[in-house]
Amino acid sequence: MRNILFLAASALAAGSANATPPPRMPLPPKLIVAISVDQFSADLFDEYRPHFAGGLARLAGGTVFRNGYQSHAATETCPGHSTILTGNHPAHTGIIANVWVDQGVKRSDLSVYCAEDESAPGTSSSNYKVSPVHLLVPTLGELMKARWPGSRNVAVSGKDRAAVMMTGHNVDQRWYWNGKTFTSDLTGVPVPQALVRADAAIAAALAEARPGLEPTPYCASKARPVPVEGGGQPVGDGVLARAAGDANGFRASPELDGATLAIAAALVDEMRLGRGNDPDLLAVSLSATDYVGHTYGTEGQEMCLQLTELDREIGDFLSALDARGLNYAVVLTADHGGKDVPERQRSAGFPGAQRVDPALAPATIGKALVARLGLKGPGLFGEGSFGDIYLDGHLGAADRKRLLTAAVAAYRAHPQVEAVFTGDQLAATPMPGGNPTGWSLLQRARASYYKGRSGDLIVLLKRDVTPIADTSRYVATHGSPWDYDRRVPILFWRNGFPARGIERPVDTVDILPTLAGLIGLPYDFSKVDGLCLPEAPSASCPSP
């Protein structure tokens, strides 16, 4: 089934008619297209690789690092996107989670969203002012703009945080879906015609119901209803049909990615990206795979339909670039991996897969500890049953110490908890490097620890524990320090360069140095965690 938004966007319809790619392009490229597929685990890439026939098949014919790693413990969207084009782990980007707790913030909502400016009056972590203010390091696009005055730094995304973390502070255009429309946090940037047309097409598409997608035989082979615990609907045999006006159904489907890519292609034309003297950067974050994973899990017919359409949509997008004769390079990776619903996992060789015990909520544990220790207040704060947990800042030093000791013991005593580290312990741990498969849990947590934003303690759950108990909204997720959430594909592609499969583990922080080598961009080695990957197409890796 062809996405209605593609047909509405003449830019892509024109490109997909051209089936023959142009000849091998000279170095260096004039346009870097950096694609992040949200929640596209290496497990999914490995499984679906034989079934891809479109854009993902083309990119899988480039230089394939199938063992890429978002090597840190906090495998969430914001930290993950912050590594892709900065060359830095979250410990250095400062983006330690999607949401953290700041008890010093001057508003009643102490939760702080990673891509907001919490000093903006009247805001909260759910009604926020989008901003890059928390990102502490420059992005590739910013380094390009500093080096070459004509370079443009552009992002289109299904999520604001992905667009912000892939482009940073000095940005030409940045557009993202806000649940109703594509919008931007940039001021003084005229709205491109591409956006006006896309918004009209999306509004028209949303107003009508969408029939289900036609499953391929492979997808149909996965169609089996699986009941989920925690109040949610069964998953597994859906076809991604949507009622008229259902915006959540829009984003948890190939429609959102189709719109994102259509806007990206139209911006290439409207901004004449890749046609100037200086190279441009176009960051594209495709969020629907993540929403499909959260809503239906990763091993049902729904994800199969999503990936089938994604493959075709990326193919149409690349064909549109070919049709314009652009000299471009592509890197594709993911912000984190993902994991299926435990109910289906149990019948797929993971008998221990289970949902988290709601008693692990920081409010519950905090209340019990406060009562036991004779303290006042909530005791503990946190955004979920794992990750960063914070001690109540109103407590005196002696009480904080007692509470910390008791909280560490309480979490460690729980059978679903694998490890608990204190902030002081992490601050004293050297930053890890080298092969990310060999990192200890302490090192993984260190790579996403930033003093002042991270918790007073970091709680890591056992493997195969899904940290969602109430499944009325989402049934599956990511965020753990385990490899199903850390391992992601990293694909580099240039037209005419041979296929190359690399098994050695690499890191998403290696992407910036590798792309810098490709376009001859100098950077300060001492300010980047990653290393240039010499296997990528014609990258000339500079020596430190």
- Active-site residues, by number, are 77
Residue window 269-308: x/- pattern of binding to Zn ion, with contact defined by CB under 5 A: ---------------------x------------------
CB of 411 to Zn ion, least distance (A): 25
Q: Which is nearer to Zn ion, 114 or 403 (CB)?
A: 114
Of 211, 210, 223, 249, the closest CA to residue 302 belongs to 223
Q: Half-sphere exposure of residue 374, counting CA atoms within 13 Å on the CB side?
A: 1
Q: How far apart are CA 255 and CA 284, in angstroms?
A: 15
Q: What is the DSSP letter of 101?
A: E
Q: How many residues bind Zn ion (CB under 5 A)?
A: 4
Place of tokens 């949401």: 99
Q: Which is nearer to Zn ion, 16 or 39 (CB)?
A: 39
Q: How many CB atoms lie within 10 A of CB 398?
A: 8
3-state helix, strand, coil in the chain (%, to 5): 35, 15, 50
Q: How far apart are CA 480 and CA 90, in angstroms?
A: 15
- Residue 78's nearest CA partner among 100, 49, 109 is 100
Whichever of 38 and 255 has its CB closer to Zn ion, that residue is 38
- Of the candidates 77, 289, 306, 385, which one interacts with Zn ion according to CB under 5 A? 77
Cβ-based nearer residue to Zn ion, 25 or 78: 78
Type and span of the H or E element at 200: helix 193-206
Does 160 help bind Zn ion (rule: CB under 5 A)?
no
Contact by Cβ (8 Å): 337, 484: yes
CB of 161 to Zn ion, least distance (A): 9
Least distance between Zn ion and beta carbon 38 (Å): 4
Residue 502's beta-bridge partner residues? 65
Residue 513 beta carbon to Zn ion: minimum distance, rounded to whole angstroms: 23
Q: Is 82 in the site for Zn ion (CB under 5 A)?
A: no
Residue 82 or 319: the one with the smaller Cβ distance to Zn ion is: 82
Closest residue to Zn ion, based on beta-carbon distance: 77
112: which strand partners? 100
Choose one: 35-43, 354-362, 428-436, 461-469; the region binding Zn ion (CB under 5 A).
35-43
Structure tokens at 92: 């250095």
In terms of CB distance, is 41 or 327 closer to Zn ion?
41
Rounded CA-CA distance 423/100 in Å is 14
Q: How far is the CB of 79 from Zn ion (least distance, A)?
A: 9
Residue 538, token pair as written in the block: 């014609």
| 317-336: contacts with Zn ion (CB under 5 A) | 335
Contact (CB, 8 A) for 468 and 399: no
The two three-digit tokens of residue 178, written as one number? 């806000």
Could you say which residues in the range 477-516 bind Zn ion, by CB under 5 A? none
Of 38 and 102, which CB lies nearer to Zn ion in the complex structure?
38
- Tell me the closest approach of the beta carbon of residue 171 to Zn ion, in angstroms: 20
Q: Does 38 bind Zn ion (CB under 5 A)?
A: yes
How big is the chain, counted in residues? 544
CB of 75 to Zn ion, least distance (A): 9
Per CB under 5 A, residues contacting Zn ion are: 38, 77, 290, 335
